[in-house]
Structure 1
Amino acid sequence: MSLRALVVAFSLCSIVYSAPAISAVPAQSPSVMSAKTEHQVRDDISAQATKLLWNDGSFVEVDRAYRGYLSRGDRTPSGLWVHGVFANAVIGSLTQLYRPATDKDWERVEAKTLAWTRSAPKSSLARIVHAESIRQRAWRIRGSGYSNTVPATAWKPFYAHILRARAYLTSQQALLADDPNYYATQIGLIRESPGGADPTPMYEAGIKRFPAYYPIYFSMLDHLLPKWHGDAESIEVFAQAAAKRSRATEGRGLYARIYWYASQINYGDDLFAESKARWGAMKAGFDDVVERYPDQWNLQSYAKFACDAGDRATLAKLLKRIGTNYEDRAWGSRAKYESCRRMVSVSKR
């Protein structure tokens, strides 16, 4: 992920940008969020982050919004923690407003995010964003391709920046230990460190304190993907254990959420052919997800997986519940949606 600096607080290059036309978006209560769809809420959070970053060179309001979401434990209609979505939106806004291209540009980004940490000595978000600015500088050098496509000259600076970001967060651990996003970020940095470092101790520390925080599990899942350090068998063992550890608040839902995430980042429509995902366990997990969070995003994603698994009975029930709603991002394409609808129609003949 690239990092673009904030236009007001960051002075990176000679190009002048005009402010986007975004109205102020107040921090929302859970009740307001439940009246909107998942992606409406995500868009609102992103707009809020951009607006606050644009107008708040001191980052005071950014920190205030983040602390509010973190302390209240707000969730989106699909069940995601809003403070995690907001943190990602802050980082995303930084990537959208400027395009640092040279080492000097990146040094200025780091200087500005470091200045934020110094002006806000208790801000966990500032420290996570600063580490992410270093991490994303590293990935700009490496590139996003497979390791065999990375130039040999890129590895040394890539690892140097990754280790620097990791060391910085470690130095701030006492302040960051109460923020679940710290653990998710550190797991990623450990995974990306040289020598195939094992993030399991950081993962265990994170879920011990925050057993229902999905990004910690997802970050660890990245480590278990075949393209990193794992395999399909390891993911299945992990998914079962994760569902058990989070059952008090999530029911069986995390098993489904883990494979849902694995499908998005690795397996695509071939989840059941290429992984060890068990549809019976995944179906039970989705039942618990939609019981708690009956948002269309969850319902239609559930239906898409039922289609992939060939479960016509469950698909038919879900399509009836979905009605005329259609969420393109859940199905991937209109063609996929229509294909699944035809599968149910054929079974009724």
Structure 2
Amino acid sequence: MKIFSIALLGWMASSAGAQVTTYTPTEITQIVTTSFQNDDFATLDKMAIQFRTTKSRSSSGSWNLAIFYSNFRNAMYEGGKQNSDEQWQRIEEKISRWVATTPNSATAPIFLAWAQLRHGWSYRNNGVDNTVTEEGFNKFLHYVSMSENILKKHKRVSSVDPEWYVMMLSLAKHRKMNDREYGLLYEEALKVEPGYHDTYKAVAETVSPMWSGNIAQLSALASDAVRRTSAVEGNALYARIFWSVSDRYSGVWYHILSTGGWPLMKSGFEDMIKQYPDDWNKNAYARFACKAGDVDLFLKLTRQFSGNPDVEAWPGNSFQQCRDYAARMRPTTPI
């Protein structure tokens, strides 16, 4: 998608001064899970409004609103991932009650749209298109259409929330939205909230080589995101965007290395850690430094960890592999 051929809106607002809330991601997980299980929709609405209006961040700089929605996507399974029609119908009926009884909820239609999309994925599964049955693909597209219709029906109420645009931008790659329409949707999303990281990440997914795009478009997106957010975050969005996609698509990381993109990635992490010197960010930065062969930086960052390496930041056995690599390259500098 050549979305950047359209003149995009400039920086319209700032998330400067965004506070770090006292909520931890673990606490958000617990509240979202318990509230959804107990049909406590009022608590979910109240939390979403708080995160949306305060633009609060976690200690790593992630938007608490994004953490909230991410945790809902896990909570809605209610302990099971069997992907049966009965399971999804139960979930959709539950959220539909919330939509019906709280017509001013911006959050409920977004939750319902996500549940419908995941119901569709239960038919499509995660294989490439030529491995999906015709029946499975048609059912998937049916649920994509249902999800989009719910969002459009409730746009007046729900589009105050940047996650509404994240959902719409994510759905676009499944229904082949044309470039102009997609570009206008992107502009509209950034007019509502130009600093929301997940808007850029949703577009990054769409313009990645895995879907309809290519590396050049992904790089253009990262540059545009930095241009729009640099007054607040420096080059951090460059690192956050490539961090979000490179672990899933190995070709993206090879492109960064082969085209000299590591200094930009490095600059992004430096700006990120200046604002948010959280161990999660330092672990991620150290892992990418290792992948880039920047051994001295890897060693420097590991000495800045407040404790042991965060295992969730190091897929597989990657920390030990990096440690072994550093030991070979710098035998007189132990970790």
TM-score range normalised by the length of the shorter chain: 0.7 to 0.9
2:42 is equivalent to residue 52 of structure 1: no
TM-score (norm 1): 0.82
Alignment-derived partner of residue 322 in structure 1: 305
Cα deviation, 1:13-71, whole Å, max 9, x if unaligned, reads xxxxxxxxxxxxxxxx93535xxxxxxx322211111122233x251122112222222
Alignment-derived partner of residue 95 in structure 2: 113
* 1:245–1:103 Cα change, 3 Å: same
| Whole-angstrom CA distance in 2 between matches of 1:203 and 1:150 | 30
| Whole-angstrom CA distance in 1 between matches of 2:254 and 2:104 | 42
Cα deviation, 1:216-253, whole Å, max 9, x if unaligned, reads 00100111111211111221122111111111211110
TM-score (norm 2): 0.85
Cα displacement (A) at 1:313: 3.3
Cα displacement (A) at 1:112: 2.1
| Structure 1 residues without counterparts, runs of 5 or longer | 1-28, 34-40
2:251 is equivalent to residue 257 of structure 1: no
Alignment-derived partner of residue 144 in structure 2: 162
1:222 pairs with one of 194, 205, 209: 205
Q: Is the 8 A contact 2:162 2:193 kept in 1?
A: yes
| Whole-angstrom CA distance in 1 between matches of 2:196 and 2:207 | 18
| Whole-angstrom CA distance in 2 between matches of 1:316 and 1:107 | 51
Cα displacement (A) at 1:272: 4.9
Higher mean alpha-carbon deviation, 307-316 vs 117-126, is at: 307-316
* 1:276–1:262 Cα change, 3 Å: farther
Higher mean alpha-carbon deviation, 154-163 vs 332-341, is at: 332-341
Residue pairs, 1:282-297, within 5 angstroms? 282-297=265-280
Cα deviation, 1:239-287, whole Å, max 9, x if unaligned, reads 1111111112111100011111112222289545677560111111111
Alignment-derived partner of residue 324 in structure 2: 339
Letter in 2 for 1:256: A
Alignment-derived partner of residue 25 in structure 1: none
| Whole-angstrom CA distance in 1 between matches of 2:129 and 2:260 | 27
Residue pairs, 1:1-349, within 5 angstroms? 30=20, 32-33=22-23, 41-55=24-38, 57-99=39-81, 101-193=83-175, 195=176, 197-198=178-179, 199-267=182-250, 270-272=253-255, 276=259, 278-322=261-305, 324-332=307-315, 333=317, 334-342=319-327, 345-346=330-331
Alignment-derived partner of residue 21 in structure 1: none
* 1:74–1:221 Cα change, 3 Å: same
Higher mean alpha-carbon deviation, 309-318 vs 145-154, is at: 309-318
Letter in 2 for 1:30: V
* 1:300–1:271 Cα change, 3 Å: farther
Letter in 1 for 2:20: P
Cα displacement (A) at 1:323: 6.2
Cα deviation, 1:266-325, whole Å, max 9, x if unaligned, reads 228954567756011111111100000000110111111111112233223222322653
Letter in 2 for 1:187: L
Count of residues paired in the alignment: 312
| Whole-angstrom CA distance in 2 between matches of 1:209 and 1:276 | 34
| Whole-angstrom CA distance in 2 between matches of 1:275 and 1:132 | 37
* 1:283–1:246 Cα change, 3 Å: same
* 1:224–1:171 Cα change, 3 Å: same
| Higher RCO (CA 8 Å, separation ≥ 6 residues) | 2
Q: Is the 8 A contact 2:166 2:202 kept in 1?
A: yes
| Whole-angstrom CA distance in 1 between matches of 2:213 and 2:324 | 33
Higher mean alpha-carbon deviation, 149-158 vs 57-66, is at: 57-66
| Whole-angstrom CA distance in 2 between matches of 1:122 and 1:345 | 60
Letter in 1 for 2:282: L
Cα deviation, 1:126-165, whole Å, max 9, x if unaligned, reads 1101111111111001111111211122121111110121
SS of residue in 2 equivalent to 1:97: coil
* 1:275–1:92 Cα change, 3 Å: farther
Q: Is the 8 A contact 2:189 2:199 kept in 1?
A: yes
| Whole-angstrom CA distance in 2 between matches of 1:109 and 1:324 | 40
* CA RMSD between the two structures: 2.5
- The sequence identity of aligned pairs, in percent, is 26
SS of residue in 2 equivalent to 1:233: helix
| Whole-angstrom CA distance in 2 between matches of 1:344 and 1:321 | 20
* 1:174–1:273 Cα change, 3 Å: closer
Cα displacement (A) at 1:191: 1.1
